[in-house]
A and B are shown apart, each in its own frame.
Chain A
Amino acid sequence: MAQVELAVQLRPEIGGRRPRRLRRLGRVPAVLYGGGEEPVVLSLDQTYLEKKIGPLHENQIVSLRIEDNDKAHNSPAIVKDIQVDCMTGAILHIDFQQIALDEKLTATVPIVAVGESIGVSRDGGILEHIIREIEIRCLPADLPEKIEVDVSSLCIGDTIYVEDIPSSRGWEVLTEPKQSIFTVTAPIVEEEVAEEAVEEEAVEGAEAAPAEAEAETTKSPESEAG
């Protein structure tokens, strides 16, 4: 995974409405923690971050260039969490975790399907992603951006499990080996018939209802008289 260098500044004030004020000034609040040290509160320039946002995602290894007045030092970190505004997509806050480049770390990595399975292309099945991320343990340099799994040989009813992913590329998988990742299920056919039958009944019912209502109104005076 390519390492991105991010220039960050120390944030002197924390808490209350200060992060909101900071965002209004075009900066993104962030925090750096871990490594047995006290957490450090930071801020990044939003426009600078937007230029960098292309490659920036969770579990990415970054090199933070922390600027404190005239001094500056680099610190390797992993992007632990990115808070995003659900409406605008703007980044609200970033969590960085300090790492040592020679120590193994635990991270969740997304799994991506490669190819089109036979069960989908030939038999019209549905490729289901049971889990989209797995937890792995490796050195920061070996951390993959994504894990590609070839699903082209999957027929209907076939499943790829976590244990099927080879763990010989410098990382070991921590997720339960028997956990299924991809499965191809048969297309849903019965539901169509059942639904149409129900709809037909409903239409018939709706047609019959006014007739019944009319019949009741004609009957009611007699019954009242009786």
Chain B
Amino acid sequence: MAQMPKRVKYRKSQRGKISRYATRGTTLEFGEYGLQTLAGGWMTANQIEAVRVALTRHIRRKGKIWIRIFPHKPVSKKPAETRMGKGKGNPEFWVAVVKPGQILYEMEGVSETLAREAMRLGAFKLPFPCRFVARERLK
């Protein structure tokens, strides 16, 4: 199931701008390995779910996965063949605003080779380049 907020204060939001690198959520907090973005963008709820499915399938439920992002932002769209004006369109889907450097997923309980391959497959689902990161301290 794609994620979405249970309740929001405002149904529609403005588009916003992604400026600079992420200053929070840039370190591994839960797992041993992670997937880090190298560019900013919107990640839809479907993409978040697609990556999760790709990761779980590849590791065959051996390890544990953490999703570090959540689609808080509603994106509205006007219906097809509609003239301009008459107000903002209806909310169509939800996205997570991602800044460069942010950790998207974390993984634990699997070997590095398996985690690396799973993250590689998961990254194909995303609209921006990502890289594999691991806790290197004390290794």
Contacts and interface: CB of A to CB of B under 8 A. Distances in A.
A127 B111 CA distance: 12
B61 A192 contact: yes
A187 B38 contact: no
Contacts of A189: 61
A143 to B, nearest CB: 14
Given A86-B26, A87-B38, A129 B108 contact: yes
A57 B137 CA distance: 8
For the residues of A in contact with B, the DSSP-based class is mixed
> Which of A87, A127, A146, A191: most chain B CB closer than 10 A?
A87
B100 A87 contact: yes
Contacts of B109: 120, 126-128
A8 B38 CA distance: 33
A122 to B, nearest CB: 14
Interface residues on A, range: 20 to 34
Contact of B61 (A86, A120, A188): A188
B2 to A, nearest CB: 12
Interface string B19-48: 001100011000010001010000000000
26 contacts: A57-B137, A86-B22, A86-B26, A86-B36, A87-B21, A87-B38, A87-B100, A110-B138, A112-B138, A126-B63, A126-B64, A127-B109, A128-B64, A128-B108, A128-B109, A129-B32, A145-B138, A185-B64, A187-B61, A187-B62, A188-B61, A189-B61, A191-B56, A191-B61, A192-B61, A195-B53
Q: What 10 pairs across the A-B complex have the smallest Cβ distances?
A: A86-B26, A86-B101, A126-B109, A188-B61, A87-B101, A146-B138, A126-B64, A87-B21, A57-B137, A187-B61
Given A120-B109, A188-B61, 9 more contacts: A57-B137, A86-B36, A87-B38, A112-B138, A126-B109, A129-B32, A185-B64, A191-B56, A192-B61
